[in-house]
């Protein structure tokens, strides 16, 4: 994600929540918007698809406490008018905010490293040996998969197609034409960073303009990657989606992102999971939900009925006499699997069906029931009597 996204996109506005919204508010807003804009609900609607992706992106940031904190800091410092990078004077343009964020991210230190880069050089410190010329961690890669409701409950292994940066196969990542080698940049002495004075106010470090932050200079560039040393790699891998995954959940697979440079570790793969709705079952946390129609007689007299489960055989459910419409019964252990090996429950809600057509005999029998039951007016309390 670019710094521009962090600064200019208002993820709170996307989800329709306030900036101090609690995690449960964010979760509730995301679920409603994701359900209303899911591509399966709007086949062929590109606008709904884009809206769904925007909602998922906002949820990815705001549902993660660490990412939300960094996002809020970025918006406050760089997007809210509280801080501005001075433009370069006679010496040229000022620092590139995208490079500064990228450096802080790759260093793994977040905003503390970012401001270390901004103000550290003012004290005359040189970049550390582990800078741009040393090992660099590969970038993270993000993918998406859509699975069935049942697979989300039970877990499933799915193929994920990934496109990521990799070392150029022609030059093996050097950026130099075959038979030649790159040279250490004399401007930054191989660190990949250089200090510059922004408007005469303070010094900042930014990627070296001569080597573009690589720490190396290529005189005869590779004709395939044009000297960048990077290529595009497209490949598939099997990803295990754990049982109990929820719609919109983001799964991290360590070390399966882009390859690192100069011996650096590979990035991570993040897979956003979308779950198709089920025609019968719903979900509430680790519990499954099911609406079951029953007759008026079954609800009044009591009955034993059979109800389906998601993956197993039917189970019998005993309805006591006088069961009201909307009452929910709990079937233990027939819900979503948990990481500890236990399962949630199946919540069965009774929907009493009122017959639309009655025969004459049935009408007479019902009228006779009313006479014999002698029930009081159920609306009497509405009149204050």
| Per-residue DSSP letter, 39 | G
The predicted pLDDT at position 281 comes to: 95
Of 42, 191, 62, the closest CA to residue 130 belongs to 191
Tell me what pLDDT residue 45 has. 81
What's the average model confidence in pLDDT over 136-142?
Answer: 80
Q: What confidence category does residue 211 fall into, taking pLDDT thresholds of 50, 70 and 90?
A: confident
Give the integer Cα–Cα distance in Å for 283 and 249. Answer: 14
SS3 89: coil
| Among candidate residues 51, 29, 25, 22, the one with its CA nearest the CA of residue 38 | 51
Kindly tell me if the per-residue pLDDT of 215 is higher than 50: yes
Domains of the chain: 282-383 (2.60.260.20)
- What is the C-alpha separation between 355 and 277, in angstroms, rounded? 29
At residue 125, the 3 state secondary structure works out as: coil
Average pLDDT over residues 222-227: 78
69 or 80: which leads in pLDDT: 69
What's the pLDDT band for 104 if we cut at 50, 70, 90? very low
Are 161 and 234 within 8 A, CB to CB? yes
Q: What is the mean pLDDT of residues 111-118?
A: 41
- Whole-angstrom distance, CA of residue 271 vs CA of residue 249: 8
Can you tell me the mean pLDDT for 212-237?
75
| Tens of pLDDT, residues 289-309 | 999 999 988 999 899 999 999
Find the range with the poorest average confidence among 66-80, 231-245, 319-333, 370-384.
Answer: 66-80
* Residue 85 to residues 29, 93, 113, 194, 206, Cα–Cα distance (Å): 35, 10, 17, 17, 13
Share of the chain above pLDDT 70, in %: 76
Residue 351 scores a pLDDT above 60: yes
pLDDT at 346: 95
Per-residue pLDDT averaged across 16-32, rounded? 90
Decide which of 92 and 13 is more confident: 13
Q: What is the pLDDT of residue 161?
A: 72
Checking if the pLDDT of 116 tops 70, the result is no
Better-predicted residue by pLDDT, 263 or 22: 22
Strand stretches in the chain, DSSP E = 141-147, 156-167, 183-184, 193-198, 202-207, 216-217, 230-241, 250-253, 269-275, 282-284, 287-295, 303-307, 315-319, 328-331, 346-353
- What is the C-alpha to C-alpha distance for residues 50 and 38, in angstroms, rounded to an integer? 10
Q: What stretch of H or E contains 30?
A: helix 23-37
Under the banding of pLDDT at 50, 70 and 90, the label for residue 320 is very high
Average per-residue pLDDT for the chain: 77
Question: Of 36-45, 103-112, 141-150, which range is least confident?
Answer: 103-112
pTM: 0.48
Contact predicate 240/157, CB 8 Å: yes
Using pLDDT thresholds of 50, 70 and 90, give the confidence band for residue 32: confident
The answer for residues whose C-beta is within 8 angstroms of residue 245's C-beta and 6 or more apart is 152, 155, 251, 273, 275
pLDDT tens per residue across span 142-183: 888 899 999 999 888 988 776 656 677 778 777 788 878 888
Confidence class of residue 97 from pLDDT cuts 50, 70 and 90? Answer: very low
The confidence band for 7, taking pLDDT boundaries of 50, 70 and 90, is low
Q: Name the more confident of 116 and 318.
A: 318
Q: Is the pLDDT of residue 131 over 60?
A: no
- Top mean pLDDT of 61-70, 342-351, 367-376 is at 342-351
């Amino acid at each position: 994600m670019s710094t521009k996204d962090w600064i200019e996109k208002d993820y709170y506005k996307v989800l329709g929540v306030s900036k101090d919204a609690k995690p449960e508010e964010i979760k509730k807003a995301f679920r409603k918007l994701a359900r209303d804009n899911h591509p399966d609900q709007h086949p062929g609607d590109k606008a709904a698809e884009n809206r769904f992706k925007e909602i998922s992106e906002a949820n990815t940031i705001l549902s993660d406490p660490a990412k939300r904190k960094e996002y809020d800091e970025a918006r406050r410092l760089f997007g809210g008018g509280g801080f501005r990078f001075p433009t370069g004077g006679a010496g040229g343009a000022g620092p590139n905010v995208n490079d500064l964020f990228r450096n802080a991210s790759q260093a793994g230190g977040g905003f503390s490293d970012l401001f270390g880069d901004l103000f550290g050089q003012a004290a005359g410190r040189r970049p550390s040996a582990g800078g741009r010329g040393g090992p660099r961690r590969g970038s993270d890669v993000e993918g998406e998969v859509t699975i069935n409701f049942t697979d989300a409950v039970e877990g499933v292994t799915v193929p994920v197609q990934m496109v990521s940066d990799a070392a150029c196969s022609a030059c093996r990542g050097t950026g130099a034409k075959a038979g030649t080698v790159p040279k250490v940049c004399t401007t930054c002495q191989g660190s990949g960073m250089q200090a510059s004075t922004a408007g005469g106010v303070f010094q900042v470090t930014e990627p070296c303009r001569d080597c573009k932050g690589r720490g190396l200079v290529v005189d005869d560039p590779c004709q395939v990657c044009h000297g960048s040393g990077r290529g595009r790699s497209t490949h598939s891998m099997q990803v295990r989606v754990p049982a109990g995954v929820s719609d919109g959940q983001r799964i991290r697979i360590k070390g399966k992102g882009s390859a690192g440079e100069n011996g650096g570790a590979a990035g991570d793969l993040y897979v956003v999971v979308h779950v198709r709705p089920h025609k019968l079952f719903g979900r509430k946390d680790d519990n499954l939900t099911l609406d079951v129609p029953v007759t008026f007689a079954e609800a009044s007299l009591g009955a034993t009925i059979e109800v389906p489960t998601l993956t197993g055989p039917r189970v019998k459910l005993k309805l006591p006499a006088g069961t009201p419409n909307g009452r929910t019964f709990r079937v233990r252990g027939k819900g979503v699997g948990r990481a500890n090996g236990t399962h949630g429950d199946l919540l069965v809600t009774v929907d009493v069906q009122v017959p639309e057509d009655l025969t004459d005999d049935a009408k007479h029998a019902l009228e006779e029931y009313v006479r014999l039951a002698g029930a009081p007016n159920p609306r009497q309390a509405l009149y204050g009597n």
